[in-house]
Structure 1
Amino acid sequence: MKRAVLLVLGVAFAIPAIAQDLRPLCPTRPGLGTPPCIVDKGHTLAEVGVGDWTRDRDGDMQSDRVIVGDMLLRYGIDTQSEIEIGWTAYGHQRDRAGTSVNRSSGTGDVLLAYKRSVANPDGSGLSAAVQPFVTLPAGGAAIGAGDWGAGVIVPISTDIAEGVSLQLSPEIDAAVDEDRSGRHLAYGSVAGIGVDLSEAVNAALELSAFRDDDPSGHSTELLAAAALAWQPVDAWQLDVGSALGLNHSSPDARLYFGVARRF
């Protein structure tokens, strides 16, 4: 009996110790950029965009897009790298021009990615990683691209003050053409400031600029975004975010919220 009690007590004290050894929870959401941190080896981080609404107006045309179940699974394969798979469960597109309304809905494409840390995989100090990715045309016409695409992101972050960090996510893509066949060059970056408001709450302010050289017409999208994340416990995060378009080529407004859970 004495040995059994000691064993139970040992396990009880060991569980918090193991939890403390894990890196800080570091989801990709809710910001527009990509963090350089890596999920702990043997652990999975599940991220779900529960709701995501975007509106874009262009003269008499108004488009509204609603995304539900935008999922990303990240798995740590070693101390320096992780693999990712993403998929959108449902998307609804509504386009209105005068009295004419067109609606479409369906699932999204599949994302496959690999992220390798080159400095501080826990995201502390000066942290950097390289993340190549590919998208597979598994979705329908409503929110699917129609062809495969690929790209690479080089996320970087550095601490600039106590509880304040600078985050950059330069990216270059072989993006799918507007006509849903073939690829073209697209590139840009997200720059942001992350601020720890408390031990459980973090805020982020970001600017995003992306150039798209689609054969049907070149454009540059400019966005300003703000997001708030709350981690009530070490393994959970709840978040909300918004973005505003800063030029004619950008969507007017976006609102979204979601959750992340580490296993």
Structure 2
Amino acid sequence: MLRVFRCVLLAGTTALLTVAAAAEEAPDKSGFTLFNPTPTDLLRGFSTDRPNKSSSPYTVDAGHWQIESDLFNVARDSANGTATRQITSVAPTVKLGLTNDSDLEVVVPTYAWISTKSGGASTTVRGWTDVQARVKVNLFGNDDGDYALAIVPYVKFPSGDTGISNKKYEYGAYAPFGIKLDDQWSLVLMVQGDSLVSSADPNKRRFNAQTFANFSYAASDTVTLSLEYYTQHKFGDHASTVQTADFAVAWNLGDDLQLDAAWYAPLNKAAPNFNAYVGISKRF
């Protein structure tokens, strides 16, 4: 009987130590808000939605803010005898931590140049893009564990210039699911649904579905490489499914600063011929 008691006591002590260790690894941060910021020593690791098409399931800590931006972005495409090139410069997304598990994100307009060549004639349109606002809510795994899930509803406002903007509200939501496979490899799976204006008839809307599968590899303490498979299907516009393979590299220059570059390779004729960019992210 004494031996059984000792075993129970040992098991209970071990369980308490395990719980205490877990509590030490993942402190309670639920009380931090925009007006009661998370202390610097409790900030989670620097996480950005760049440089991939898919997003991170992690939010910005409460009371802190973050800027993620293209520095230069160029895309080219050709179809049915028409060639299009689009260039944008600084395109910041500003994020503000509202609570420990939610943040507000605003995509600030950028200036765009779109040139089109068709039948020997060329035109160029210049102007500002639309504003987009979204809220990211982490459902679990924000501070600990090997799995994390978030949901992100968004609205695009028709604030851009004519020729750049379609002058219509568009909205949708996406859900990134992150998996830490080991100390170097991670996987993000994401689905997105959008209500967009039809390109064939601006008075009608269509459903747009996107899927993402991203493998990331921490090549060193500062460099991360990633490969992403992306698909997009526009229902109702008789458009073919777009498929791309996206290559990216991110370089951390400290705990709160990242440089990155990405290149999207088309996997079928429906995908743009070329898209590449470089960018920067900073947490404050």
1:27 matched residue in structure 2: 48
Kept in 2: contact 1:69–1:88 (CA 8 A): no
Could you report, residue by residue, the CA deviation over 1:222-252 in whole angstroms, capped at 9, with x for unpaired residues? 1110111111111111110000111121101
Cα 1:59/1:218, change in 2 over 3 Å: closer
Could you report, residue by residue, the CA deviation over 1:143-194 in whole angstroms, capped at 9, with x for unpaired residues? 3232001101010110112210011110011012214444210012111101
Cα 1:180/1:123, change in 2 over 3 Å: farther
Q: Partner letter of residue 193 of structure 1? A: F
Q: CA deviation at 1:63?
A: 0.8
1:104 matched residue in structure 2: 125
Q: How does 1:109-148 map to 2 (within 5 A)?
A: 109-122=130-143, 125-148=146-169
SS of structure 2 residue aligned to 1:226: strand
SS of structure 1 residue aligned to 2:60: coil
Larger radius of gyration between Structure 1 and Structure 2: 2
Do structure 1's residue 241 and structure 2's residue 266 form an aligned pair? no
Distance in 1 (alpha carbons) for counterparts of 2:90 and 2:143:
27
Q: CA deviation at 1:59?
A: 4.5
1:172 matched residue in structure 2: 193
1:160 matched residue in structure 2: 181
Do structure 1's residue 224 and structure 2's residue 232 form an aligned pair? no
The answer to which of 245-254 and 147-156 deviates more is 245-254
Structure 1 gap ranges (5+):
1-17
Cα 1:237/1:258, change in 2 over 3 Å: same
2:9 matched residue in structure 1: none
Kept in 2: contact 1:38–1:122 (CA 8 A): no
Cα 1:116/1:167, change in 2 over 3 Å: same
Do structure 1's residue 86 and structure 2's residue 107 form an aligned pair? yes
Q: CA deviation at 1:28?
A: 0.9
Cα 1:46/1:181, change in 2 over 3 Å: farther
1:190 matched residue in structure 2: 212
1:151 matched residue in structure 2: 172
Cα 1:30/1:40, change in 2 over 3 Å: same
Kept in 2: contact 1:229–1:239 (CA 8 A): yes
2:233 matched residue in structure 1: 211
Do structure 1's residue 77 and structure 2's residue 87 form an aligned pair? no
Q: How does 1:49-60 map to 2 (within 5 A)?
A: 49-60=70-81
Structure 2 gap ranges (5+):
1-38
Q: CA deviation at 1:125?
A: 1.3
Distance in 2 (alpha carbons) for counterparts of 1:182 and 1:139:
20
SS of structure 1 residue aligned to 2:164: coil
Could you report, residue by residue, the CA deviation over 1:50-85 in whole angstroms, capped at 9, with x for unpaired residues? 111001022432111001121101111000111111
Distance in 1 (alpha carbons) for counterparts of 2:86 and 2:229:
22
RMSD over aligned Cα, in angstroms? 1.5
Could you report, residue by residue, the CA deviation over 1:116-140 in whole angstroms, capped at 9, with x for unpaired residues? 1111114851010011111001112
Kept in 2: contact 1:41–1:77 (CA 8 A): yes
Percent identity of equivalent pairs: 24
SS of structure 2 residue aligned to 1:101: strand
Q: Partner letter of residue 177 of structure 1? A: S
TM-score using structure 2 length: 0.82
The answer to which of 180-189 and 44-53 deviates more is 180-189
Kept in 1: contact 2:259–2:281 (CA 8 A): yes
Q: Partner letter of residue 250 of structure 2? A: A
2:222 matched residue in structure 1: 200
